[in-house]
Amino acid sequence: MANCHLVATVFMVGLIWFVQVVHYPLFNRISGDASIQYAAEHQRRTAWVVGLPMLVEGITTLWLFFNPIDGRLLPLLGGLVLLKIHLSTIFLQIPLHKKLSQGYEREVVRKLVATNWVRTIGWTIRAAIAVVIVV
């Protein structure tokens, strides 16, 4: 189960770095009516890509805490970081995406890129924790 956890977490790290460095900044290249369609497609397609890995990551995070390999400290820390990632998603990124689905605003894209660092750094930390758990 720890290996599944590691794979799901590392997948999310790769994805979030791509989103942070490439995908979110490209929102600035789409304006007018096309930006509304682009934002809607982004949300729809992203859900398909992240759904299963996030589910696996969540389940294995709980499993590692309740059935620890070598103590509960690392699974607890990883779980707290994951909680912060999900809170950031719910309270920061989702509202910004909703604004973008109503039309392009440069300031909204700037905030999206800036606040997404919480998730980017969080998932990177989680990957390091997952590697330590497996090793």
pLDDT mean values, one per 10 residues, the chain (135 residues) = 95 98 95 90 94 96 88 94 98 97 96 98 98 93
Reduce the DSSP state of residue 111 to 3 states and report it. helix
The model's pTM is: 0.93
**Average pLDDT of the residues of the chain:** 95
The pLDDT value recorded for residue 31 is 83
pLDDT tens string 8-35: 999 999 999 999 999 999 999 998 889 9
Q: How far apart, in whole angstroms, are the C-alpha atoms of residue 62 and residue 78?
A: 10
